[in-house]
Structure 1
Amino acid sequence: MKNYKALAEQIVKHVGGSSNIQSVTNCMTRLRLPLKDPAKADTKALQALDGVQGVVEKGGQTQIVIGTDVANVKNEVAKLGSFEEGTAASGKKENWFNALVGTITAVFQPIIPAICGSGMIKAVLAICTACGWLGADSMIYTLLSMFADSVFYFMPIYLGFSMGKRLGLNPFVAASICACLIHPTFVTLQGAEDPILFFAMEIKKVSYASAVVPPLLIVWFLKYVDKLANRIMPNAVKIFMVPLLDFLIVCPLALIIIGPLGSFLGDGLYFFFDFLNNQARWVIPMLMGAFCPLFVMTGMHYSLMPVQLAQYASLGYGTLLGPGMLASNLAQAGASFAVALRTRDTKLRSTAVSAGTTALFGITEPALYGVTLPLKTPLWMVMIAGGIAGLWGGLTNMRTYASATAGVLALPVYAGGGLQNVINAVICIVIAFAAGFILTLIFGFRKQEDQPEPAAVSEETPEKKAEPLNVSYEILSPLKGHVLPLTQVPDEVFSRRIMGAGAAIDPQEGEIKAPFDGTVTAVFPTGHAIGLTSNDGVECLIHIGIDTVEMDGKGFETLVKQGQTVKAGDLLSRVDLDAIRKAGHPVITPVIITNSSNYVDVIETGKPEVLHGDPLMKVFR
């Protein structure tokens, strides 16, 4: 990509012009644009631009996946208007979970380069001491260690500044309030035998160096105090009276209540991870390796950073992000190179080689949005390969001792655990890359220009006749309700057809019936989803509501078991739709053909309303 200015101009044009952009910022691969009116953005036109890998609407932002050139594009976009780098987005109200994830992500993004840089210093020190090149008692080691530790020691100040900026507060006031947690005077008082009292209220002696949760809670509380102070103070004295009230109210409460509460939550994280590390250490790396692409699509991988830092602070090492993301990222690289080897499309081959190379170094959005997600099957292979390699990482107790982008250059962050930990990481890389490459090469991908030639029918085996290409299978409606296209489902895993093609139903009744003759292949313990396979091999997933897994089975009555044979129209489950709505979840139910990549097309009914047993879709071989 050369002409960043031209691309920036096209992006601004297709998001509704510079007047529609609130602010502009970027992460490693995404241009993030909070828009005043998201409806003005032409997503299809943005996705069609040369240099754009994909477009995601998440966290109140239009996120445009550019790749490693994103900073150059962001700078050109910034020149086209008077945009702020601030992040407090306004506009359409989000649910609390999206708002929380969006806030945590935005708070940590500016700090990640500093965390990674200091982490790599720690990794280099570990290698130097292990090889005998540098003594742990030398002055050089002491100074380099100080350089690395400074980022983590003063983390409450950085988080206070970033959180304050995100919430629209004066970031310097927020940072200054959080600085009291690690002020030398407070640290000295903690070391004394006498209790620390503030107007007869005792302040708990807690170490807040490297703390993550307390500063976030403190600045969140500051938001409401600052809002109240601005409301009651006359304009003439706001400039000094508002920060005065902020300090006098928030600082004492931060030390007496909020800080210790955050510390308690941090201790809870310690016990949780300590339990997993001792009892089921394979769980987190395997799940992260398998589902990391979904986290990346939603930006949730950044929101896990505070938990990762809490793990470093409490345990001295990390298992949450590093091993699993290393497995997933290298699986993306392997799958991309397999696509490049197999495809006959020169443009796709070029994209796959470039995306696979960046994935080797831990930047996977180009591979995800440019290669594996559009082709579908490679994404499934990536998730399988990432899960396998992540399982290896968990079983061998792989640990990171500093933060770094999870790629081949991140091996030094494993050195703190000794040579065997590094060897285990190398094996994890090999497993992930090889599994992603081989699985994608074997199972391939569905793209019109890459369809294999039809196999010839041997005259020596006349009993095996070629199936006609125009065979279709009818999928009946499992529900009564209003038919919607998947694009209207408020969950990108379904709306982007990541799980497969299909349709959705806004149900009017809570009875779910079998859509064909076949077998129940999956019954989720929470009752929110049922998987079936027809006698003709069509695989179907009925996902009742959105995010209903959080209801933990309340309102769901499953009437079938895995492995049970069913006939079309048999009752599968009963659902309390009102309970789903009261829990704050949409009742829209996607009906997905999960192996739709094996078929030529899936055509939904043209009827706006369906009853139980009405034709919902046709699947064409």
Structure 2
Amino acid sequence: MDHRKLADEILGKVGGEENVASLGHCATRLRFNLKDDNKANADALKNTNGVVGVVNKGGQFQVVIGNDVKKVYRNIIGNTRIEDSSNKQETKNEKKGIVSRVLDTIAGSFFPIIPAIAGAGMLKAVLALLQAFNWVNVDSNTYQVLLFISDAAFYFLPVLLAASAAKKFNVNQYVAMSIGAVLIHPTFISLMNTAKTDGSSLDLVGVTIPLVSYASSVIPIILAIWFMSYIEPLAERIIPASLHIVFVPLLTLIIVAPITLIILGPLGNYVGIALGEGINFLNMYVGWLVPLLIGTFTPFLVMAGMHYGIIPIGMNMLATKGIDTVAGPGMLISNIAEGGATLAVALRAKNKNLKQLAASAGATAIVGITEPAMYGISLRFKRPLWATMIGGGAGGLFIGIMGVGRYAQVSPGIFSLPSYIGPDGFSNLINIVIGICISFIVAFIVSYILGIKEDPIQESADDKTEAKQTEEEIAATADQLTLYAPITGKVIALSDVDDAVFAEGILGQGAAIIPSEGKVLAPADGVVTALFDTNHAIGITTDDGAEILIHVGIDTVKLGGLHYTPRVEKGQTVKQGDLLLEFDIEGIKKEGYDIVTPFIITNSADFGDISSVTEREISAGERILEIIK
């Protein structure tokens, strides 16, 4: 896969660089914060080779890539200025609700640091395993060194979160980290411990500082950086520009740090305590409820990006109680159920390509990466999603009744099992293994019984052959749809286009034209259903249901609309031969871009045979494609 080309495709289809306020990624998804979601073409993205799915919820426009997401992310960041503009806050004209903004803030603050805490959590799990089997002496230097290495990311969590939250709130990252460091500074901790021991108080200019510990805390530092996002801009406005470098950080620190220690930090701590007590209340009286809900509805939480709202709850429980009975166990059970339901599809499906996809996605889900299974199988066929929810609910109910929890922050996959080894031996581990087995078996059986309805999109050319019917018989009895050349020039085979996405027919079948005239005409009667902001491509849905994409040039999204002049608008009804777009052939060539224009049917799988004229000169308005319905 050409990750550079995929990055360019995705960027163009989310509205271009100018529409991206910030960009990050998790294990499988690019997470865009867009200035205007309406400028993103979700349908075109879904039909892009290398894109598994698209989700626009929770305040983010998420493009699901899979394991190659980091490579695509690096190509976008490395070839744009998005890294500099990613610190921008939401623009004033955005219509996001308060829930979306809160989720966006939590997700934006957490997913950059997930690799650090996941690695540290896994090291904790390994140490628990070594200790359980007496493979290492807990008093040895080796164990102690590895232990503090695994603790470091969690202990200094306020500093890590300050760095990522600073990007979300558009403030100086290093000043923000300094405020995070204030909360865990050795002198502050020493003063606080002395005050607790002596029964005295700690004060600042006569104002009492609550004696609160912030190591491994989450909410206090996010509140602090949110407050900083108001103070720093205020300081920049009232202090002359020539003095900014010294006095803006000074004023920010001298205001934000004390207010955090006196008000915001304790407030965040009390919110965390209240949250923990609420969870403890549920665990005490309806202990089965939370794991049941998490096990059942995790797929929807992941789709909405709301699972990032659960992670802080689990981390808060680990910091205050030493055990997480909410986030980790329920999400692990759900992921295993997703794997079971998807592997059942692999076993029962008839289509070879679908079998391979389901087998790979199912195994990946068990490891803890569910997006390929979720978007490639569950959401596509619906029934596996129900099976996942039923299996996750069954397993969640069991672990809820048994009070299962994890003792370290680890990605919820099969390799996280060592994190369930607790101080009481292996009983907790045994119960989570039983819960995993229940969720997998139930989801697998339900998914296998329900089956799926394999649609034509999943079928290969061999699967679509009709028994005892020749191609001639099909052609003779089927209706045909004629499409006319949208551009004057030379027709070539689509396979000759120097772009794998088009040449391999991934977006659909059709032809390509090397233009000799810079005009694009409507190839049939229909409606303009896509008009890219960069104006280099246009989509039309014909009255007969054919979805057409006319892509003028290769990689021309980078021109940002230069040399292109649209003559229609999205949603406009057009007749065959109407002028859609004008473009400057020589101007595009001088910029160094290939002007070959793919002309494809993006929903080719909905039709029979598609034939095209090739290797000859053609005028706009002449027949170019014949489609058997």
- The separation in 2 between residues aligned to 1:425 and 1:60, in whole angstroms, is 33
Residue 363 (1) aligns with residue 369 (2): yes
Structure 1 residue 298, shift from structure 2 partner? 0.6
Structure 1 contact 53–369 (Cα < 8 Å) conserved: yes
Letter in 2 for 1:57: N
> Which residue matches 1:566?
none
> Which residue matches 2:50?
51
> Which residue matches 1:74?
73
- The separation in 1 between residues aligned to 2:129 and 2:248, in whole angstroms, is 50
Structure 1 residue 434, shift from structure 2 partner? 1.2
Closer/same/farther in 2, CA of residues 256 and 45 from structure 1, 3 Å limit: same
Task: Say which is worse superposed, 369-378 or 68-77, in terms of deviation.
Answer: 68-77
Structure 1 residue 60, shift from structure 2 partner? 4.1
Of the three residues 412, 426, 429, the one matched with 2:433 is 426
Structure 1 contact 222–250 (Cα < 8 Å) conserved: yes
> Which residue matches 2:572?
none
Residue 176 of structure 1 aligns to a residue in which SS?
helix
Structure 2 contact 4–72 (Cα < 8 Å) conserved: yes
Structure 2 contact 108–168 (Cα < 8 Å) conserved: yes
- The separation in 1 between residues aligned to 2:263 and 2:320, in whole angstroms, is 21
> Which residue matches 1:5?
4
Residue 412 (1) aligns with residue 411 (2): no
Q: What aligned pairs does 1:445-460 form with structure 2 within 5 A after superposition?
A: 445-448=452-455
- The separation in 1 between residues aligned to 2:329 and 2:372, in whole angstroms, is 21
Letter in 1 for 2:329: P
Closer/same/farther in 2, CA of residues 173 and 330 from structure 1, 3 Å limit: same
Of the three residues 148, 151, 155, the one matched with 2:150 is 148
Q: TM-score, normalised by structure 1?
A: 0.70
Structure 1 residue 240, shift from structure 2 partner? 1.6
> Which residue matches 1:179?
181
- The separation in 2 between residues aligned to 1:217 and 1:422, in whole angstroms, is 36
- The separation in 2 between residues aligned to 1:150 and 1:278, in whole angstroms, is 32
- The separation in 2 between residues aligned to 1:81 and 1:399, in whole angstroms, is 43
> Which residue matches 2:208?
202
CA deviation map 1:354-384 (0-9, x unaligned): 2111101010011111101111111111101
Of the three residues 442, 451, 469, the one matched with 2:449 is 442
Residue 61 (1) aligns with residue 60 (2): yes
Closer/same/farther in 2, CA of residues 218 and 17 from structure 1, 3 Å limit: closer
- The separation in 2 between residues aligned to 1:288 and 1:13, in whole angstroms, is 36
Structure 1 contact 22–84 (Cα < 8 Å) conserved: no
Calculate the aligned-residue CA RMSD, in Å: 1.9
CA deviation map 1:576-604 (0-9, x unaligned): xxxxxxxxxxxxxxxxxxxxxxxxxxxxx
Letter in 1 for 2:427: Q
> Which residue matches 1:347?
353
> Which residue matches 1:403?
409
- The separation in 2 between residues aligned to 1:421 and 1:151, in whole angstroms, is 25
> Which residue matches 1:135?
137
- The separation in 2 between residues aligned to 1:119 and 1:265, in whole angstroms, is 24
Task: Say which is worse superposed, 106-115 or 59-68, in terms of deviation.
Answer: 59-68
Structure 2 contact 58–306 (Cα < 8 Å) conserved: no
Structure 1 residue 47, shift from structure 2 partner? 0.3
> Which residue matches 2:468?
none
Closer/same/farther in 2, CA of residues 24 and 163 from structure 1, 3 Å limit: closer
> Which residue matches 1:170?
172
- The separation in 2 between residues aligned to 1:310 and 1:29, in whole angstroms, is 25
- The separation in 2 between residues aligned to 1:22 and 1:380, in whole angstroms, is 36
- The separation in 1 between residues aligned to 2:288 and 2:12, in whole angstroms, is 48
Residue 57 of structure 1 aligns to a residue in which SS?
strand
Q: What aligned pairs does 1:23-62 form with structure 2 within 5 A after superposition?
A: 23-62=22-61
Structure 2 contact 333–392 (Cα < 8 Å) conserved: yes
Closer/same/farther in 2, CA of residues 62 and 327 from structure 1, 3 Å limit: same
Structure 1 residue 342, shift from structure 2 partner? 1.7
Residue 14 (1) aligns with residue 13 (2): yes
CA deviation map 1:204-232 (0-9, x unaligned): 21111111111111111111111221222
Closer/same/farther in 2, CA of residues 9 and 263 from structure 1, 3 Å limit: closer
- The separation in 2 between residues aligned to 1:95 and 1:347, in whole angstroms, is 41
CA deviation map 1:326-351 (0-9, x unaligned): 11111111111111122223332222
Structure 1 residue 256, shift from structure 2 partner? 1.4
- The separation in 2 between residues aligned to 1:5 and 1:41, in whole angstroms, is 19
Closer/same/farther in 2, CA of residues 265 and 22 from structure 1, 3 Å limit: closer
Residue 34 of structure 1 aligns to a residue in which SS?
strand
Residue 422 of structure 2 aligns to a residue in which SS?
helix
Letter in 2 for 1:351: L
Residue 55 of structure 2 aligns to a residue in which SS?
strand
Residue 315 (1) aligns with residue 321 (2): yes
Residue 64 of structure 1 aligns to a residue in which SS?
strand
CA deviation map 1:62-93 (0-9, x unaligned): 21111111112222233442221735453423
> Which residue matches 2:381?
375
Q: TM-score, normalised by structure 2?
A: 0.69
Letter in 1 for 2:253: F
> Which residue matches 1:280?
286
- The separation in 1 between residues aligned to 2:172 and 2:23, in whole angstroms, is 19
Residue 416 of structure 1 aligns to a residue in which SS?
coil
- The separation in 1 between residues aligned to 2:398 and 2:105, in whole angstroms, is 33
Structure 1 contact 31–64 (Cα < 8 Å) conserved: yes
- The separation in 1 between residues aligned to 2:27 and 2:42, in whole angstroms, is 21
Residue 62 of structure 2 aligns to a residue in which SS?
strand
Q: What aligned pairs does 1:248-287 form with structure 2 within 5 A after superposition?
A: 248-287=254-293
Residue 350 of structure 1 aligns to a residue in which SS?
helix
- The separation in 2 between residues aligned to 1:109 and 1:289, in whole angstroms, is 21
Letter in 1 for 2:374: L
Q: What aligned pairs does 1:459-538 form with structure 2 within 5 A after superposition?
A: none
CA deviation map 1:280-310 (0-9, x unaligned): 2211111000000000001111122211111
Residue 24 of structure 1 aligns to a residue in which SS?
strand
Task: Say which is worse superposed, 364-373 or 173-182, in terms of deviation.
Answer: 173-182
> Which residue matches 2:96?
94
Aligned length: 450
Consecutive unaligned residues in structure 2, runs of 5 or more:
460-629
Structure 1 residue 411, shift from structure 2 partner? 0.7
- The separation in 1 between residues aligned to 2:318 and 2:59, in whole angstroms, is 30
- The separation in 1 between residues aligned to 2:52 and 2:126, in whole angstroms, is 34
Residue 108 (1) aligns with residue 123 (2): no
- The separation in 2 between residues aligned to 1:219 and 1:83, in whole angstroms, is 22
Residue 72 of structure 2 aligns to a residue in which SS?
helix
Consecutive unaligned residues in structure 1, runs of 5 or more:
452-621
Letter in 2 for 1:218: A
Task: Say which is worse superposed, 278-287 or 189-198, in terms of deviation.
Answer: 189-198
Structure 1 residue 179, shift from structure 2 partner? 1.4
> Which residue matches 1:389?
395
Structure 2 contact 25–112 (Cα < 8 Å) conserved: no
- The separation in 1 between residues aligned to 2:54 and 2:406, in whole angstroms, is 32
> Which residue matches 1:84?
83
- The separation in 2 between residues aligned to 1:179 and 1:446, in whole angstroms, is 56
CA deviation map 1:449-506 (0-9, x unaligned): 599xxxxxxxxxxxxxxxxxxxxxxxxxxxxxxxxxxxxxxxxxxxxxxxxxxxxxxx
Residue 203 of structure 2 aligns to a residue in which SS?
strand
Structure 1 contact 18–80 (Cα < 8 Å) conserved: no
Larger RCO (CA within 8 A; separation ≥ 6): 2
